[in-house]
Amino acid sequence: MQLAPLLKWSCVGALIALLAIPSRAQWAYPPTKRTDASDTYFGRRYPDPYRWLENLNAADSQAWFKAQSGLADGVIDRIPGRDALVREWTALDRLQHATYGAISYQNGRVFYKKTLGGEIVGKLYLREGWNGPEKLLVDPSTYKPGVTTTIDSVVPSFDGRYVAIGFSSGGAEYSEIRILDVDRRTFLPERTHPTAGATGWTLDSRSFFYDSGDVTDTRSLAFKQHRKIRLHRLGTDFSADADFFSDASNPELGITPRELPAVGVDKLNPDYVFASVKTEQPELRMFYAPVAAMGRVPLKWSVFCRPSDDLVKGVVRHGDYAYAITHRDAPRYRLVRTPMSRLDWARAETVLPEAKDSIQALAASRDYLFVVYSNGIVGRIVKLAYATGAVSEVALPASGTVGIGCPDRTTNRCQVTLTSWTLPRTLYDYDADTGAFTKSAFNTAVAYPGFDRLVSEEVEVPGHDGVMIPLSIIHRKGLPLDGDHSCILTGYGSYGVSLSPNFNLFYSVALRDVVIAVAHVRGGGEKGESWYKAGFKTTKANTWMDFISCAEHLIRRGYTNPRRLAGTGRSAGGILISRAITERPDLFAAAVCGVGDANALRLEFRPNGPLNAPEFGTVKDPVECAALYNMDGVQHVQPGSLYPALLGVAGWNDARVPAWQTGKFVATVQNASASGKPVLMKVNYDSGHFTEDKSVTFRDFAGQYAFILWQTGHPDFQPAK
């Protein structure tokens, strides 16, 4: 192929008619200055020429992101098929009469969010009793006229008279708290912002605990340091609220600045108030104090559990016993209990021993404790009767990913959700006394046209070291394995999070003979604690090497080929995708790094960086610093390499992964790649790490899919010449 001439266009991508250029053409990107910034750790210098992009409040940084996003918008807007995807997903969404979430029950009242098909955000509703008539409480579209506002959190008081509601806009994760008087349908005058929301009410339903801090700039490195739990009394000004629990008010507990506090009271176990502090380290650290002493602040707290007790995934109290999940001597976890009167987790009694699949979560009703298990693909529920200790397996109405919750813990009525790659989320009412399942009044599942023509396969792939890696593959029935299909491979692999089967309207793209694949790489939780720790800090390389092994399998088995394979990773999955394409650029035609961690050596220098150091490591430790360098995509970009087409995506209001994490990776690849393939940076200025606003989400992901399918040669997404 003859090389096309050098393309000339403006920084905002005015001449997008050149979309049909040959793949080896050169792209003229908005200029990106380089500086001499660097860090030196343990005798090694790490250049960081795009450090200046980290200051998102600076004019030059903002101008760079604006220019880059203008270019990306101009390119993506002209890819055929993008708008068809938006219309398709919008039409499918409208088929669903309603979706429900945040269901809670207090004093005979059921509170929930409902989003009608076609609505972009949910509204807050009320029923008097489970079967009472529905009443609209709050429509967030009227909260701030002209601004798309979402309800982030809904925390009703124990008597059901009040609801602490968190409102936000633009995908921001920190909200404004307002208190709704349910009977009067009016808000109390007081408000506070920015906060992560309320954590619970006091037993008299006249005060609630909430997250607070002294810094209001959510982009500041100090924002997530020294967070406090304050106690607010209804009818008073938030500015007068006392610091109830924090490193400042409780120095005797040794709380570090990066640990996030929470406080709550359980009305079924009203004798104690519980507090916790956490980072991204999964092991729990909790305290408790007598409720009767709450009038005296600061309280005298006792230790409930330490990280060294190895408790994870939650705790349930019933009577004098505390039940918890532990990974001590159990890589796939076991259920243990200890009496509150003689609290001793080191000698805790084993209630359910380790099984072949791993424990995912706990839930509780009045008389039963429910333990959710999964092998990464198929879930099950085990029921434990408190009174007798009898253990039985719940006979589920379908197979797939399962979850259970019991909004009214004064009864044994619970709700069970079931879903899979091709089965829409279905919500059942479950009577734990009789074992009966009935379709819930909150369930409105619909048969989406075409999805019955999709199948999913579950296989295991040999990894680079011989370990078998689970891989899920979704495609059209009867798809010929001729190696000539666009394929989108995604993965995550952090925090012990499992990518369990879950229905998604976006999978309609598979009806276009596109293969969707999900790699269950190490660092996730599909196979328990040992699987998680096998992709953690110094073993993190297994995460992207497993992803590469899955890519090779898809090619070897004829699902796709390197010219038609794309990889994607979001959030912490940015480590996975940035290192997969820098390690094996020859395997991928395209990649998307969505709100992604791609600059691991700088993870500590974002607002929630210290919070995440227990997960990824710290540059202050020589071994962990070396591991961070190994997982840093920016540091592994090599000039002159033939990198795949790359789309970086960021949310301007993202408080978790700031735009510069992905932006620096895009800038580095733009100035290093010799492949001639496009390297674009898209910024969603109306979003954060994610957003409930479906109009934003559909357009964002349709753009990502269109970019991928353009670059992997799908005929429906090729610009006209």
Q: What is d(CA 62, CA 159) in angstroms, rounded to the nearest whole number?
A: 48
* Cross-strand bridge partners of residue 39: 46
**pLDDT for position 22:** 35
**pLDDT for position 26:** 67
Q: What is d(CA 405, CA 166) in angstroms, rounded to the nearest whole number?
A: 22
Write the burial class of residue 267 (CB in 10 Å: 0-12 exposed, 13-18 middle, 19+ buried).
middle
Strands 645-651 and 590-594: parallel
- CATH number for the region 16-90+448-717 comes to 3.40.50.1820
Among residues 497, 535, 503, the alpha carbon closest in space to that of 516 is found at: 503
Strands 228-233 and 44-47: unpaired
Which amino acid is present at 336? V
Task: Spell out the alpha helix ranges (H) of 573-671.
Answer: 573-583, 609-616, 622-630, 659-670
Compute CA 493 distance to the chain's CA centroid, rounded to the nearest angstrom. Answer: 12
| Helix 82-95 and helix 694-711, axial crossing angle in degrees, nearest 10 | 140
**Strand, coil or helix: what is 646?**
strand
Compute CA 105 distance to the chain's CA centroid, rounded to the nearest angstrom. Answer: 25
Q: What is d(CA 381, CA 403) in angstroms, rounded to the nearest whole number?
A: 8
Contacts of 24 (CB under 8 A, 6+ apart): 1, 3, 4, 675, 676
Q: What is d(CA 474, CA 457) in angstroms, rounded to the nearest whole number?
A: 6
In the numeric block, which tokens belong to residue 247? 């490193």
* Cross-strand bridge partners of residue 361: 372
Compute CA 288 distance to the chain's CA centroid, rounded to the nearest angstrom. Answer: 29
Answer yes or no: are the C-beta atoms of 162 and 169 closer than 8 Å: no
Answer yes or no: are the C-beta atoms of 265 and 202 closer than 8 Å: yes
Strands 515-519 and 487-491: parallel
| Helix 59-77 and helix 659-670, axial crossing angle in degrees, nearest 10 | 70
Q: How many residues does the chain have?
A: 721
Query: 674-690 burial, b for 16+ CB within 10 Å, e for fewer?
Result: ebbbbbbbbbbebbbbb
The Cβ-side half-sphere exposure at 638, using a 13 Å CA radius, reads 10
Strands 302-305 and 286-290: antiparallel
In the numeric block, which tokens belong to residue 698? 């559909």
The CATH number of 310-445 is which of 3.40.50.1220, 2.60.15.10, 2.130.10.120, 1.10.1660.10? 2.130.10.120
Q: What is d(CA 522, CA 471) in angstroms, rounded to the nearest whole number?
A: 12
* Angle made by CA atoms 360, 365, 367, in degrees to the nearest 5: 115
Helices and strands: H and E segment counts in the chain: 9, 38
> What Rg do the C-alpha atoms of the chain give, in angstroms?
26
> What are the tens digits of pLDDT across the range 341-382?
999 999 999 999 999 999 999 999 999 999 999 999 999 999
- Which helix (H) or strand (E) is 70 found in, with range? helix 59-77
**Strand, coil or helix: what is 481?**
coil
DSSP summary character for residue 196: S
**pLDDT for position 25:** 47
How far the first Cα of the chain sits from its last, in Å, is: 16
Q: What is d(CA 325, CA 345) in angstroms, rounded to the nearest whole number?
A: 11
Contacts of 414 (CB under 8 A, 6+ apart): 363, 365, 370, 404, 405, 406, 429, 430, 432
Among residues 714, 709, 691, 665, the alpha carbon closest in space to that of 175 is found at: 691
Which parts of the chain register pLDDT below 70? Answer: 1-26, 721
Q: What is d(CA 11, CA 31) in angstroms, rounded to the nearest whole number?
A: 8
Parts of the chain belonging to CATH 3.40.50.1820: 16-90+448-717
What beta strand segments (E) does 147-241 contain?
149-156, 162-169, 175-181, 186-195, 198-201, 207-212, 228-233
- Which helix (H) or strand (E) is 392 found in, with range? strand 391-393
In the numeric block, which tokens belong to residue 633? 């995509």
Q: What is d(CA 117, CA 378) in angstroms, rounded to the nearest whole number?
A: 29
Parts of the chain belonging to CATH 2.130.10.120: 310-445
